[in-house]
Amino acid sequence: MEFETSEAKKPRCSRDKTPKLSRKERRLMSAMERVAKPGDGTDFKRKYQEHDKLGSGGFGSVFAGVRIADMLPVAIKHIRRKSVDFVSQIIGDELYTIPYEVLLMTKAAPDAEIGLNPSVSLLEWFSVKDEIILIMERPFPALNFYEYVSDMRRFQKDV
Annotated binding site for ATP: 77
| Burial of residue 134, with CB atoms counted within 10 A of its CB: 0-12 exposed, 13-18 middle, 19 or more buried | buried
What's the CA gap between 75 and 46, in Å, rounded?
16
Numbered residues of the known binding site:
77
Q: How far apart are alpha carbons 31 and 27 in whole angstroms?
A: 6
Q: How far apart are CA 137 and CA 123, in angstroms?
A: 7
